[in-house]
């Protein structure tokens, strides 16, 4: 089981849900789609989570509220949420895409254990500064980034698994 994520707040307020719905509504209008009750239910359910969710996991949570919402509706809505910056995709060791909400959150990064799959979230102003610097250097307006480090957690590292550092050029 993946660790729960660090979040800046214990829960999301009704005002924040309204603001997130407005972000989604604006995006849907730009791409010629309508805001539906199903999409709003998926958004509210997703914003209420504190975990890195697969599409299947989010679908199960949504079905508890509205059993008639299908998997493909959840899939398409989650992609729309990612397109407008309310969600981001995170890839861990198992090859399953997971998503976490990004509404009103500080930028953070992940370290992922390639042995057991545990993850640690961390904050780094240096990575954010590097994103901006690289963007300026290439005359690119950056809007977001993903940064993940893979390796062994302390528990797996102590089990005697050898991890050789990556050396390039030889």
**Residue-range domains of the chain with CATH:** 12-105 (1.10.10.10), 106-159 (3.30.1490.190)
85 confidence band (pLDDT: 50, 70, 90): confident
Contact 98, 53 (CB under 8 A): yes
- What is the three-class DSSP state of 144? coil
Contact 126, 88 (CB under 8 A): no
What percent of the chain is modeled with pLDDT above 90? 41
Whole-number pLDDT of residue 150 = 84
Whole-number pLDDT of residue 72 = 97
- Pick from 15-24, 33-42, 43-52, 99-108 the range whose average pLDDT is largest: 33-42
- What is the three-class DSSP state of 99? strand
29: its two tokens: 């209008």
Tell me the C-alpha distance between 102 and 87, whole Å.
5
pLDDT tens profile 134-168: 999 999 988 777 788 888 989 888 886 555 555 44
pLDDT reading at 4 higher than 60 = no
What integer is the mean pLDDT of 89-116? 77
Task: Summarize the chain as % helix, strand, coil (round to 5).
Answer: 40, 15, 45
Average model confidence (pLDDT) across the chain:
83
Q: What are 150-153's contacts with CB under 8 Å, separation 24+?
A: 150/93, 150/111, 150/112, 150/113, 150/114, 151/111, 151/112, 151/113, 151/114, 152/113, 152/114, 152/115, 153/111, 153/113, 153/115, 153/116, 153/118, 153/120
* Beta bridge partners of residue 100, listed in sequence order: 88
Q: Residue 164's CB: how many other CB atoms inside 10 A?
A: 5
For residues 79, 56, 96 and 30, what is the CA-based torsion angle, rounded to 10 degrees? 0
pLDDT tens profile 31-45: 999 999 999 999 999
Q: Residue 69's CB: how many other CB atoms inside 10 A?
A: 19
């Amino acid at each position: 089981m993946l660790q729960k994520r660090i979040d800046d707040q214990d829960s999301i307020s009704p005002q924040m849900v309204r603001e997130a719905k407005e972000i989604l509504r604006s995006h849907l209008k730009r791409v010629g789609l309508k805001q539906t009750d199903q999409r709003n239910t998926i958004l509210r359910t997703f914003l209420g989570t504190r975990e890195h969710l697969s599409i299947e996991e989010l679908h199960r949570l949504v079905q508890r509220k509205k059993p008639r919402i299908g998997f493909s509706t959840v899939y398409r809505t989650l992609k729309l949420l990612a397109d407008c910056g309310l969600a981001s995709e995170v890839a861990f060791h198992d090859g399953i895409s997971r998503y976490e909400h990004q509404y009103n959150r500080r930028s953070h990064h992940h370290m992922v254990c390639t042995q057991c799959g545990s993850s640690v979230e961390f904050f780094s102003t240096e990575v954010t500064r590097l994103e901006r610097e690289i963007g300026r250097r290439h005359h690119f307006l950056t809007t977001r980034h993903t940064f993940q480090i893979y390796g062994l957690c302390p528990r797996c590292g102590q089990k005697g698994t050898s991890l050789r550092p990556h050396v390039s050029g030889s």
